[in-house]
Amino acid sequence: MGFSFLSYDGICDGVALVVCPLLGDSGLGIEPKCYSRNVEINSTLIFQPATCFIHIAALVMTAIMVYHIRSKYTAVGRKEIVLFFYLYAVSEMLAIFLDSAIIPTYSPVYSVFTAIYVGLGTSIFWCLLINGFVGFQFAEDGTPKSLWFLRISSFVLFALGFLVAFATFKGAAGMSPTKTQGLWIVQLLFPAVCVVIYVVSQVVLVLRTLDDRWPLGDITFGVLAFVAACVLMFGFSTQICVAVKHYIDGTFFGVLCLLFSVMMIYKYWDSITKEDLEFSVGSKAAVWDVKDPLLGPGDVDVMGPGSISTHESAFAAPPPLGGGGRMGSPGAPSGRLAPGKSGMGYPPQPSSY
């Protein structure tokens, strides 16, 4: 069965999406032609085991990216972009339970959690879209106006996606498991439109406001990864599954490529945002490491017992003529006290020779 616009029949026939067990007119969902093997752990069947490992890896990578984002205290759009990664992490955590069928498809709560998952996907792409306009400074980033607009609008889109999905699963408000046009729009069409708008806005931002063109490479790799995820998941899932004898299917590569595209979003944001070091209070010690320009390449300026600070040495009396100055006594290593000295005499005293 081929791809059909506003219909899940052809999609669910090829790839095992979490919504597919709740759609169709048979009451048993739409089963794909080929899906990955199950494994049994403690008398519990785990579906899509390889895909679950990718979800776990996505959680780890998201935690790392959030840590680095939060460490850039003065970067533009820091608070806005971190919400996108929080929503993505929650979505990946929920996908572990849905893809693996830890929450059984026959359970009454499966439809509720699936609707939550669809709502999260809608809000994630909306949040990404709004973050695309933060760089244009229509509203000052980090202010309550910017943050609350993002949070409230993301919640509204989450509620919209949840209600459309739940009404489709339960056959309410003119929707049903066989009338999936609304669900198709919020789960598949809306995210694609958000990605297109986000990419166009970021290309315009880079070309008009930045001198560096390297961020365009991050955008390109992110777009290619997103396109590859869609093609492998919806176009070649059955062929992949048959070729590798049911060990993995298109869902595995789809989730993997989506993770890579999210990582490219972080890489792009990191490449276009610079931290104001004057107001930075991060843990990067090198930011505050001021080197003495008078020191030579082999000199060492170390604060320790019996030494004097660089600032104090600036006001110290100059060494007597012929005393060797900063170099110490003859034969002493550059920048260090001569052997036999007590270590309290900076500048070094003239040697007796």
261: closest CA among 213, 224, 316, 307? 224
Q: Which long-range contacts (CB under 8 A, 24 or more apart) does 199-203 make?
A: 199/223, 201/132, 201/133, 201/136, 202/132, 202/135, 202/268
pLDDT at 326: 39
* 136 has pLDDT over 70: yes
The verdict on pTM exceeding 0.95 is no
Which contiguous run of DSSP H or E holds residue 40?
strand 39-41
323: closest CA among 299, 349, 296, 341? 349
Architecture of 11-272 per CATH?
Up-down Bundle (1.20)
**How far apart are the C-alpha atoms of 9 and 30, rounded to whole Å?**
7
∠ CA(164), CA(168), CA(172), 5° rounding? 90
pLDDT at 316: 46
Please state the domain extents for the chain. 11-272, 303-353
**How far apart are the C-alpha atoms of 105 and 22, rounded to whole Å?**
8
Q: What band does 209 get if pLDDT is binned at 50, 70 and 90?
A: confident
pLDDT at 297: 52
332: closest CA among 307, 303, 299? 299
Q: What band does 43 get if pLDDT is binned at 50, 70 and 90?
A: confident
Quick one: 43 exposed, middle or buried, by C-beta within 10 A (0-12, 13-18, 19+)?
A: exposed
Are 233 and 15 contacting, i.e. CB atoms less than 8 angstroms apart? yes
- Condensed to tens digits (0 to 9), the pLDDT of residues 309-352 reads 444 444 444 544 444 443 443 443 333 333 444 444 444 555 44
- Condensed to tens digits (0 to 9), the pLDDT of residues 213-269 reads 899 999 999 999 999 999 999 989 999 999 998 888 999 999 999 999 999 999 999
Q: Residue 233: which residues within 8 A CB-CB, separation 6 or more? A: 15, 250, 251, 253, 254
Instruction: Please identify which residue in the block is written with the tokens 């060494």.
Output: 319
Quick one: 278 exposed, middle or buried, by C-beta within 10 A (0-12, 13-18, 19+)?
A: exposed
Q: What SS3 state is found at 337?
A: coil
Torsions phi, psi for 162 (to 5 deg):
-65, -45
DSSP-assigned letters across all residues of 194-247: HHHHHHHHHHHHHHHH-S--THHHHHHHHHHHHHHHHHHHHTSHHHHHHHTTTS
